[in-house]
Amino acid sequence: MKTKRKIGIIFGKFYPLHCGHIYLIEKAIMQVDELHVFLGCEPARDLKLFEASGMLRQPQVRDRFYWLKKNFQHHRNIHIHVLDESGIAYYPNGWQDWSDRVKAILAKHQVKPMVIFTSEQQDVANHERYFNCSVKLIDVNRDFINISATKIRQNPFQHWQYISQVARPFFVMKIALVGKLNQFDQLAMQLANIFNTRYVTNGYINYFQNDHHHKVSSTLNEADYIRIAMLQAQRIDDAATCANKLLFTAFDFETLYHHYQRSFRKDNQILKELINNYPFDLVIHSHDFNPHESQLAIFESVIERIKIKLE
């Protein structure tokens, strides 16, 4: 057993990871040699929390694990463990079973904790009782970073500044304006400007203009389609890392796939996967509008739709 090193533990759902959690963990690691962070998950409870939330999609355990891993990658002495809480009575009822499950993980890693860090005063007595170690309270009143994951789940956009940088791309609302190429491309750019965020260039147009000057749309082969899609996926990922709540583009994978099917009269698994893996939260088609509608009317109507989504 590793007994000499001072070992601390922290529990949480990190649903999602926010600056208050980060403060707790960064402050804890200053006081120990090694910190073990337990990511508590329970599928039915987590789904229920999602259903009651204002989040557009449900963060999975792998997302929450990744946020913790990535956020603390510069600390070699922080270890993240997934704690499956299935079958245990929900907090605050299952302390015996729950602490046994934690202890099993600690034993597997030959870890003997000396201190538990938390901001939950009401848990101190049970932590001391079930883990037989000291408890350090950090910012019980949450004066320094006044946020909770519950508040963020209710409305991620309202509390954007508290969501961890690494978790933000997950919450970015992706908006595609699809249709008359140049008109909607211009609109996507204008909207990104207004909402102070990122625009992702239309990968289809871009392919001819920048990536492959010699190509014209009629000479695209199957590999070109895959390349366009992959380049677009990469650009979306890059833009999402620094987008401010929203991300605009005039391109969606669904439309590219329809073009592909029309040209080659078959399915394509890669394009299908990209459609599933890059869902847009709002897709606005030019055919949603009356062809005689003015540019200004379309502009105003799109802004209204986005405002509703942001509320």
Minimum CB distance to ligand NAD smaller for 14 or for 280:
14
Within 13 A of 46's CA, how many CA atoms are on the CB side?
Answer: 21
Residue 258 CB, nearest approach to ligand NAD (Å): 42
CB of 15 to ligand NAD, least distance (A): 6
CA torsion, ordered 282, 285, 290, 296, to nearest 10 deg = 70
Nearest to 8 by CA among 119, 30, 124, 101: 30
Q: How far is the CB of 155 from ligand NAD (least distance, A)?
A: 16
Residue closer to ligand NAD (CB basis): 158 or 183: 158
CA–CA separation, 80 vs 78, rounded Å?
7
**C-alpha distance across the termini of the chain, in Å:** 52
Q: Which is nearer to ligand NAD, 24 or 220 (CB)?
A: 24
Q: Within 10 Å of residue 13's Cβ, how many Cβ atoms?
A: 22
- CB of residue 128 to ligand NAD, shortest distance in Å: 13
Binding site for ligand NAD (CB under 6 A): 11-14, 20-21, 23-24, 40, 85, 88, 90-92, 94-95, 98, 118-120, 138-139, 142, 145, 147-149
Write the DSSP string, 44-65.
HHHHHHHHTS--SSPPPHHHHH
- CB of 38 or CB of 251, closer to ligand NAD: 38
Please identify, using beta-carbon distances, which residue of 147 and 303 lies nearer to ligand NAD: 147
How many CB atoms within 10 Å of residue 11?
20
Cβ at position 85, least distance to ligand NAD in Å: 5
Report in angstroms how near the CB of residue 105 gets to ligand NAD at its nearest: 13
**CA-to-CA distance for 193 and 195, rounded, in angstroms?**
6
Nearer to ligand NAD, 138 or 181 (CB): 138
Whether residue 264 contacts residue 222, with contact meaning beta carbons closer than 8 Å, is answered with yes
